[in-house]
């Protein structure tokens, strides 16, 4: 009886333990039927037997969405992109219109012909194409073959002798008159004779100088020597020192070709010879052509519809920016803006355009070869030019609708585009934030954005590589594609 009382509780306990163990092992089957709400909540969790990685983490008020307007770059990436970062400064900017042009000679100044003043034979050519000559430098030697010049020299020598005799006779009579032996009327007559011969001598001297004889040669002819050759020299005379813009710059071998001490600008360069050695020439025949490229014109071609705007720009002396083809950056000093000199009043019937002329001061470098100076000009006739004519001043109106705010001007690489959106990147440490902006004007080199508060003068704007930064931003966003916690630090 006692044994039965002892075994019964043990059996009952064993049965309960077995039932409990079986219920634990089969809870996935009966638990959803008994507690459906709790099962639904636990089923959306992290799965059977899995520990919750975010247990104890507060998600309240936390945004796990991707940061689509900013990207973080390592210092190495920033150096690889060679980012140029700076603050913005409002500045005046004019919308421009592109007008094609070409560098041309300045008529009446750039080219000049040298002619022979006498008939004769060319016996020496002292300057050849490419040589640089100054005013007064010898160009040709011509042996005289003119009977007129020979007789003019003879008449000069004769008039000079008669002047000497007349002057000597006047002096004798003046001595006699001073002693009271003869009346003063005889002295007056001799004075008139001296004046007449003096006038003849001066006339003959001027005549010979007009025909190319130097004052020294004329003096020799006056003494009775016959001059048989004349030297043709480069035209011109003493001139003021050339402006700084046209001063020549020598290339120093020790400086690696860098500009050094400025030198005076020679007047002309021999462009073309028109005669040969031994050729007989006549009075007025062209011997050679000289050119001076220190002053040129930029000739732009515009349509008649643009004439009013160009006339207004010429009247107001509005600066015009010029871009020259085939010119390496940094090889020469920066070219300042040009100003319209005049507009042509004729329209080309073939192109339906008219010419616009802008003065251009040229800049040369020089080098010496065989004792002569040669020029390398910066601008040359025929060189292509792009003229950017200002047509509209770009401004942004303040919120009051009256105050005009100057825009920001950035390089073209500072602004990126996606569809209708334009944006720049602002640097804050290693983070670059993309900000939308409004573009007022853009060309291949510059972009003008509105000063409307989208960016401020205090922010550091990246002035290049906007497209590369935008690609980096997209790559960072795409790298966290299916992970709701992409870019979020749970440490």
Specify the pLDDT at position 268. 85
Average pLDDT over residues 202-216: 87
CA distance 100 to 322: 10
Average pLDDT in the chain? 79
Tell me which of 176-185, 206-215, 341-350, 474-483 is least confident. 474-483
What pTM was computed for the model?
A: 0.57
Q: Which of the pair, 265 or 193, is modelled with greater confidence?
A: 193
Q: Confidence band (pLDDT; 50, 70, 90) for 28?
A: low
For residue 405, count other CB atoms closer than 10 A to its CB. 15
User: Which of these, 293, 290, 291, 294, lies nearest to 140 by C-alpha position?
Assistant: 290
Average pLDDT over residues 191-198: 90
Backbone torsions φ then ψ of 92, nearest 5 degrees: -70, 135
- Angle (CA) 296-301-307 rounded to 5° is 110
Per-residue pLDDT reduced to its tens digit, 47-78:
443 334 444 444 333 443 345 688 899 889 98
Specify the pLDDT at position 131. 84
Q: Name the 3-class secondary structure at 476.
A: helix
256: left (phi over 0), alpha (psi -120 to 50) or beta: left
CA distance 288 to 234: 10
Q: Confidence band (pLDDT; 50, 70, 90) for 360?
A: very high
Specify the pLDDT at position 300. 94
**Residue pointed to by tokens 């001490």:** 261
Specify the pLDDT at position 36. 54
Cα–Cα distances in angstroms (integers) from residue 357 to residues 120, 151, 308, 315, in the given order:
42, 51, 15, 13
Statement: residue 239 has pLDDT above 50: no
H helix intervals, 353-488 = 466-479
Statement: residue 260 has pLDDT above 70: no
Q: Confidence band (pLDDT; 50, 70, 90) for 207?
A: confident
Average pLDDT over residues 450-474: 90
Specify the pLDDT at position 63. 42
Q: Confidence band (pLDDT; 50, 70, 90) for 238?
A: very low
Per-residue pLDDT reduced to its tens digit, 317-358:
888 989 888 777 778 888 888 999 999 999 999 999 999 999
Average pLDDT over residues 213-221: 87
Tell me which of 28-37, 93-102, 244-253 is least confident. 244-253
How many residues does this entry show for the chain? Answer: 491
- Domains of the chain (ranges plus CATH)? 2-43 (no CATH), 70-90+394-479 (2.40.420.20), 97-109+293-392 (2.40.30.170), 111-268 (no CATH)
Specify the pLDDT at position 276. 92
Q: Confidence band (pLDDT; 50, 70, 90) for 427?
A: very high
Specify the pLDDT at position 41. 44
Specify the pLDDT at position 342. 92
CA distance 282 to 284: 6
Statement: residue 38 has pLDDT above 80: no
DSSP one-letter code for 331: S
Specify the pLDDT at position 266. 52
- Please tell me which of 27-31, 179-183, 250-254, 365-369 the model is most confident about, judged by mean pLDDT: 365-369
Q: Confidence band (pLDDT; 50, 70, 90) for 245?
A: very low
Statement: residue 491 has pLDDT above 60: no
């Amino acid at each position: 009886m006692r044994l039965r009382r002892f075994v019964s509780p043990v059996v009952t306990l064993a049965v309960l333990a077995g039932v409990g163990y079986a219920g634990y092992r089969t809870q996935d089957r009966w638990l959803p039927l008994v507690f459906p709400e709790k099962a639904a909540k636990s089923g959306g969790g992290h799965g059977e037997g899995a520990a919750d990685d975010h247990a104890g983490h507060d998600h309240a008020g936390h945004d796990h969405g991707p940061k689509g307007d900013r990207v973080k770059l390592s210092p190495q990436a920033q150096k690889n992109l060679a980012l140029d970062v700076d603050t913005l400064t409002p500045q005046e900017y004019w919308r421009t219109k592109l007008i094609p042009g070409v560098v041309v000679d300045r008529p009446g100044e750039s080219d000049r012909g040298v002619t022979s003043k006498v008939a004769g034979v060319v016996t020496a050519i002292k300057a050849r194409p490419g040589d640089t000559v100054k005013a007064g430098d010898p160009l040709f030697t011509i042996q005289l073959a003119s009977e007129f010049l020979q007789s003019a020299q003879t008449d000069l020598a004769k008039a000079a002798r008669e002047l000497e005799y007349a002057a000597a006779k006047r002096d004798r009579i003046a001595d006699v008159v001073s002693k009271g032996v003869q009346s003063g009327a005889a002295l007056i007559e001799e004075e008139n004779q001296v004046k007449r011969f003096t006038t003849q001598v001066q006339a003959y001297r001027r005549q010979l100088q007009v025909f190319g004889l130097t004052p020294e040669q004329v003096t020799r002819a006056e003494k009775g020597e016959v001059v048989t050759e004349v030297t043709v020299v480069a035209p011109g005379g003493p001139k003021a020192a050339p402006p700084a813009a046209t001063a020549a710059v020598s290339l120093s071998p020790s400086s690696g070709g860098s500009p050094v001490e400025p030198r005076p600008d020679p007047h002309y360069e021999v462009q073309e010879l028109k005669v040969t050695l031994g050729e007989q020439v006549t009075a007025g025949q062209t011997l050679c052509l000289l050119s001076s490229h220190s002053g040129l014109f930029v000739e732009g071609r515009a349509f008649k519809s643009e004439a009013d705007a160009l006339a207004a720009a010429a009247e107001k002396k509005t600066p015009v920016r010029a871009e020259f083809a085939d010119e390496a950056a940094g090889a020469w000093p920066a070219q300042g803006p040009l100003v319209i000199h005049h507009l042509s009043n004729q329209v080309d019937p073939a192109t339906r355009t008219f010419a616009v002329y802008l003065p251009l001061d040229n800049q040369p470098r020089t080098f010496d070869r065989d004792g002569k100076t040669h020029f390398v000009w910066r601008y040359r006739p025929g060189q292509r030019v792009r003229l950017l004519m200002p047509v509209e001043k770009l401004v942004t109106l303040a919120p009051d609708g009256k105050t005009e705010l100057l825009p920001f001007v950035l390089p073209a690489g500072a602004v990126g585009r996606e569809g209708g959106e334009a944006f720049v990147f602002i640097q804050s440490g290693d983070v670059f934030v993309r900000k939308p902006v409004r573009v007022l004007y853009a060309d291949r080199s510059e972009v003008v954005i509105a000063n409307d508060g989208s960016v401020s003068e205090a922010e550091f704007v990246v002035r290049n590589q906007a497209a590369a930064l935008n690609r980096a931003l997209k790559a960072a966003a795409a790298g966290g594609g299916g992970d709701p916690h992409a870019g979020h630090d749970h440490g």
